[in-house]
Amino acid sequence: MKKYLKTTFATVLLSAAIATSALPAARADGEPAGAPATLQSYTLNDSLRVEVKSVLNERVKDGTRLGAVVRLTNTTGKLTRVPDYELRLKTEDGTEYTLQPSATNVPSVNGKATRELSYMLTVDRSDDIKIADIEWVDVDLYVYPKKETLMLDIPAAGMIWEGKESAIEDSNAMRKWGESFTLPSLNSPLVYKPVDLTRDFNGQSPVSVVQVLVENPTSDRQALPDLAMDGKSATDVYSGQLVEQGPIVLEAGEKRYVHFAIQTDIDTVLQSLNVLTVEKYASAEGQKTFNVGHLNIVLPTATVTAPSASDAKYKLGTPIAFDKLNKIIHQNLEVSLVELHVQDNDRDGFKTAIAKFKLLNKSDRPLPVPSFATELVSTDGYVYAGFAQAITAQRVIPSGATTVSYSFTVPKSQESTDLELRLLDAQTVKPYKSVIAAIRADAQLDDTIQVTELNMYPFKLKMNNWTASANFQGVYTYKLKLDLDIQQDPQAIVDSSSPKLQIDVVGSDGRVIASLPNLGLTGVNALINGSNEISLSAATTQLEIPFTFRIYESFTNTNGEVAKRLLTTLK
């Protein structure tokens, strides 16, 4: 029996079936017009029907690797043995290659069940092999000469995947960026949508990380097929792989993200992405894998950036809207930005930006303080990584709040106060990150000269009076007397992670001659409401006149650096 199928590669794998004498598979319910459909099905014998899932003809180091993955469906109601037919690939010049079955191929198929079988052969040929047909041949070795019977012959034109250099050009197998798609040829109802492509680094190697939203629209659990993704530039193809490890199963109605990491060259500009399945073949030498392409995603521009913030300006203190599928921020934890400052650093060639977040627990039980990452993006597109304060609270009590600060090093040339702040998940697909929220906010412009009301959430310090003096006792000691009125946000829980002050004495030449760090507003030796006397000893035997007190809010970040924000200068 001989069946003919004339299609392009993408059509065989993904497009609507072309009418043949075999019964065509029905289009999946809900599939839009022009969407890929299931594979063509052919009768192999009285009990089994066969579909060709993929055919490989790939140049490798040892020659040419030929492979095929077929799907057998038992049409009867009882266990049926897989026949001992040879699976052959026949070339245009008439040469036949008998592929070897995988050691893991099943010997039989249960009633009404479907199983996949894998075959492979490496041919020692360096010239191009043109596959013409896929054949199932019954070989009778018990007669002489042996008798061969052709059981099924399917033309292979357009089915062949020739490795990562293959091009997918059929319109039914192409999608625009951000467009949803299915892969029904894999017998999977899962719906996919590319939503984010970011540039990252793994060590010194640049990596493009593609975030794909996967949805299970059915009422049954569905396993994610073994998928890979390649990135294509104008001249090269870069292999990518799924970042998440282990089997991924989506419950009925569940949505979740998966990520593909594509290592590229430093100056690579990707133009499209190929979605591939990872096929497996086992032999005495071990298990091998090979990838076969199914769909191409065209990128709209040279680069696709992470989701950006709304054009509407963020109002300090309002809750930040997070991606509902994120795995970092608990749904009952309200996160808001309460401070965003950018200041010059004296005698340094850079500025420091500091963002402070309030984390409010709106549940009736303690919640862990999330470990999220941050990025600051300038209006001209430059991205600066944030470093969190090294010491943070571990838990937030019910109806209580805590704060977490992040510092950013930005160049002095960064003049704009219009900034985008991104919050990222750096844990789920470590070492890569994904954006879970983005806001656009204006940096606060602070007057720091002789200011007597200091705002450092959750505290407000009002200096009712202050005096400065210096005396000599072997070295000069500089004293600052402060009469303070300290107010605290009643929601905020203060502990060792709460904001601290640093006081510096600065000479007339701008040099720091004495410093007192880690001056707290809670705990032992903390500043209090009322009168406070602060002494700073200088390692000098010469009185610096005039001298100035500078009061900073400060913290040590996870990079080991002390980040400071100048609150006031007392001359």
What is the dihedral sign for C-alpha 106, 112, 114, 117? positive
pLDDT-derived band at 246, boundaries 50, 70, 90: confident
Question: Is the pTM above the cut of 0.85?
Answer: no
pLDDT at 517 over 60: yes
Q: For residue 260, which of 216, 289, 297, 223 has the smallest C-alpha distance?
A: 297
CA distance 156 to 158: 6
CA distance 383 to 493: 32
Position 312 scores a pLDDT of 85
pLDDT at 371 over 60: yes
Question: 92 to each of 133, 156, 555, how far by Cα in Å?
Answer: 8, 10, 72
Instruction: Decide which of 506 and 172 is more confident.
Output: 506
Position 306 scores a pLDDT of 55
Instruction: Decide which of 126 and 106 is more confident.
Output: 106
Tell me the pLDDT tens digit for each residue of 418-429: 999 999 999 999
Strand partners, 200: 207
Domains 9-161 and 171-298 share a fold: yes
Position 18 scores a pLDDT of 26
Position 5 scores a pLDDT of 32
Q: What does the buried/exposed string (b/e) look like for 57-74 if buried means 16 or more CB atoms within 10 Å of the residue's CB?
A: bbeeeeebbbbbbbbbbb
Average pLDDT over all residues of the chain: 88
Position 16 scores a pLDDT of 29
Position 172 scores a pLDDT of 82
Token reading at 141: 């070795």
Q: What does the buried/exposed string (b/e) look like for 102-128 if buried means 16 or more CB atoms within 10 Å of the residue's CB?
A: beebeeebeeeeeebbbbbbbbeeeee
pLDDT at 2 over 80: no
Tell me the pLDDT tens digit for each residue of 7-51: 333 333 323 222 233 323 333 333 433 344 468 899 999 999 999
pLDDT at 110 over 60: yes
Position 305 scores a pLDDT of 53
Position 353 scores a pLDDT of 95
pLDDT at 454 over 50: yes
Q: How many Cα atoms within 13 Å fall on the side-chain side of residue 334? A: 14
Position 413 scores a pLDDT of 86
562 within 8 A of 446, measured Cβ to Cβ = no
CA distance 379 to 311: 12
Give the residue-averaged pLDDT of 469-479: 86
For residue 531, the tally of other CB atoms under 10 A from its CB is 11
pLDDT at 309 over 90: no
Contacts of 46 (CB under 8 A, 6+ apart): none
464 within 8 A of 476, measured Cβ to Cβ = no
Fold of 333-442: Immunoglobulin-like (2.60.40)
Give the residue-averaged pLDDT of 136-145: 92
Return the CATH number of 453-570, one of 1.10.20, 3.40.50, 2.60.40, 1.10.10: 2.60.40
* Amino acid identity at 293: G
Angle formed at CA 557 by CA 498 and CA 196, multiple of 5 degrees:
110
Contacts of 521 (CB under 8 A, 6+ apart): 459, 461, 486, 488, 494, 498, 499, 500, 501, 527
**Domain 171-298 classification at class level:** mainly beta
pLDDT at 197 over 80: yes
CA distance 458 to 489: 5
Position 148 scores a pLDDT of 94
Instruction: Decide which of 381 and 421 is more confident.
Output: 421
CA distance 292 to 227: 9
Strand partners, 94: none
Tell me the pLDDT tens digit for each residue of 76-95: 999 999 999 999 999 999 99
pLDDT at 194 over 90: yes
Rounded to the nearest 10°, the torsion over CA 38, 44, 49, 52 is: -30
Position 546 scores a pLDDT of 87
Q: What share of the chain is helix, strand, coil (3-state, %, to 5)?
A: 0, 50, 45
SS (H, E, C) 414-446: CCCCEEEEEEEECCCCCCCCEEEEEEEEECECC
Where do the domains of the chain lie? Answer: 9-161, 171-298, 333-442, 453-570
pLDDT at 249 over 60: yes
Range 9-161 has CATH code 2.60.40: yes
DSSP strand pairing (174-176 vs 286-298): parallel
211 within 8 A of 327, measured Cβ to Cβ = no
Give the residue-averaged pLDDT of 523-550: 88
**Least confident span in 244-248, 316-320, 544-548:** 544-548
Position 300 scores a pLDDT of 78
Position 302 scores a pLDDT of 47
Give the residue-averaged pLDDT of 536-543: 81
Question: 227 to each of 17, 247, 290, 325, 428, how far by Cα in Å?
Answer: 23, 11, 11, 21, 18
Position 170 scores a pLDDT of 78
Q: What H or E segment, with its residue span, contains residue 9? A: helix 9-14
458 within 8 A of 401, measured Cβ to Cβ = yes
% pLDDT > 70, the chain: 91
For residue 376, the tally of other CB atoms under 10 A from its CB is 24
pLDDT-derived band at 307, boundaries 50, 70, 90: low
For residue 502, the tally of other CB atoms under 10 A from its CB is 20
DSSP strand pairing (418-425 vs 227-232): unpaired
Position 472 scores a pLDDT of 83
